[in-house]
């Protein structure tokens, strides 16, 4: 197959229109059969539910070319399941797992020329989304929805090595207790943008959000989950029911336990104890793990032993193992890799 004429190594994380996307419509109480289309534009009534009461959910996953030349996706079944949970929480009609997976397969196959070749560090980012197209003026769930899945090639997250970042403890809260922090919805991002811009203006790369009820426990950054490593190489994951269940983080936990034979503990993590950890990373599809060198809590600097030059040792091993599994150089656990071509 002839690849698209792209300088794969110079790609960034930006949208680039690719030839085909999948669209399905929910009408009269049922999801219709979806289909591929070249139309990248959505046309909506001014009174569509999404525009007023924000019924929108999304997912993010990637397709890769493996070392032996296959095109694969990583655990798309978990994205399908998470999207079903997100839909239920926002009173939207869940899309069946089989249809979600069919959409993934069809879009990746139809845009195979846009899947970056092995060795470039680039990948094809897939963005499934669902939103209310039905007319709503009084507050209630809409009765019509669209599911759409499009893709765009993205570059390696770290150009020239993963440099640890500096983050700040945010004065804003991300997710209320018993709120929507655990679902992947646009609304969680809308209210985090001000915190994000404020952190950037103050010279920080990201925010550390705390639990809103007590502001003593670590939650997440708003786009990635935390992972800490103790001096004894124990992996510690902040436990909270308002954190988004990151598929990357859940996979890294499995790798830590089964590949690296490390102890993993999921428990509430207090802000005032993080200085005791040796390493800190942010887990998500975009970067796999982004190392954190320093957390600044209102002027007080909390530096991790791993420093500001490179990833911590355990973080690096976790990173290398997960990337190896995705690219087919390390044997994957059963069911993690879905081969498309």
Ligand X SMILES: *Cc1c(COP(=O)(O)O)cnc(C)c1O
Interface residue list for ligand X (CB under 6 A): 60, 184, 220, 222-225, 244, 246-249, 283-285
d(CA 84, CA 96): 8
Element (H, E) at 296: strand 288-297
Name the residue nearer to ligand X (CB basis): 116 or 284. Answer: 284
- Tell me the closest approach of the beta carbon of residue 29 to ligand X, in angstroms: 29
Name the residue nearer to ligand X (CB basis): 144 or 198. Answer: 198
Catalytic residue status for 184: yes
d(CA 164, CA 302): 13
Strands (E), 96-204: 123-132, 145-154, 165-169
- Tell me the closest approach of the beta carbon of residue 182 to ligand X, in angstroms: 9
Considering the candidates 27, 33, 67, 184, report the single residue annotated as catalytic: 184
CA 145 remoteness from chain centre: 23
d(CA 285, CA 63): 11
> Can you read off the two tokens belonging to residue 26?
């929910």
Q: Are 211 and 242 in contact (CB under 8 A)?
A: yes
Name the residue nearer to ligand X (CB basis): 138 or 335. Answer: 335
- Tell me the closest approach of the beta carbon of residue 224 to ligand X, in angstroms: 5
Q: How far is CA 250 from CA 21, 285, 330, in A?
A: 28, 11, 18
Closest CA to 66 of 120, 28, 110, 108: 120
- Tell me the closest approach of the beta carbon of residue 154 to ligand X, in angstroms: 13
Residues serving a catalytic function are 184
């Amino acid at each position: 197959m002839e690849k698209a004429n792209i300088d794969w190594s110079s790609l960034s994380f930006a949208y680039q229109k690719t030839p085909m996307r999948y669209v399905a419509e929910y009408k009269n109480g049922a999801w219709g059969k979806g289909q591929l289309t070249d139309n990248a534009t959505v046309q909506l009534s001014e009174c569509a539910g999404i525009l007023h009461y924000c019924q929108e959910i999304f997912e993010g996953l990637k397709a890769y070319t493996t070392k032996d030349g296959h095109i694969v996706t990583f655990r798309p079944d978990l994205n399908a399941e998470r999207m079903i949970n997100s839909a239920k929480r926002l009173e939207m009609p869940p899309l069946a797992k089989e249809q979600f997976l069919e959409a993934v397969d069809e879009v990746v196959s139809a845009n195979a020329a846009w899947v970056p070749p092995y060795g470039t560090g680039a990948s094809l980012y897939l963005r499934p989304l669902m939103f209310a197209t039905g007319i709503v003026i009084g507050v209630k769930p809409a009765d019509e929805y669209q599911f759409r899945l499009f893709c765009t090639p993205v570059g390696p997250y770290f150009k020239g090595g993963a440099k640890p970042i500096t983050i700040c403890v945010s004065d804003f809260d991300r997710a209320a207790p018993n709120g929507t922090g655990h679902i992947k919805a646009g609304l969680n991002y809308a209210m985090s943008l001000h915190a994000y811009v404020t952190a950037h203006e103050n010279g920080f790369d990201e925010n550390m959000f705390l639990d809103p009820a007590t502001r003593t426990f670590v939650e997440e950054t708003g786009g990635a989950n935390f992972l800490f490593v103790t001096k004894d190489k124990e992996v510690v994951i902040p436990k909270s029911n308002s954190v988004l269940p990151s598929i990357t983080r859940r996979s890294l936990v499995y790798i830590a336990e089964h590949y690296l034979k490390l102890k993993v503990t999921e428990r509430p993590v207090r802000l005032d104890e993080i200085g005791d950890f040796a390493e800190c990373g942010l887990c998500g599809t975009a970067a796999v793990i982004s190392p954190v060198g320093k957390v600044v809590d209102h002027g007080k600097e909390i530096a991790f032993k791993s420093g500001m030059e490179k990833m911590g040792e355990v973080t690096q091993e976790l990173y290398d193992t997960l990337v190896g599994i995705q690219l087919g150089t390390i044997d994957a656990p059963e069911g993690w890799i879905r081969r498309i071509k």
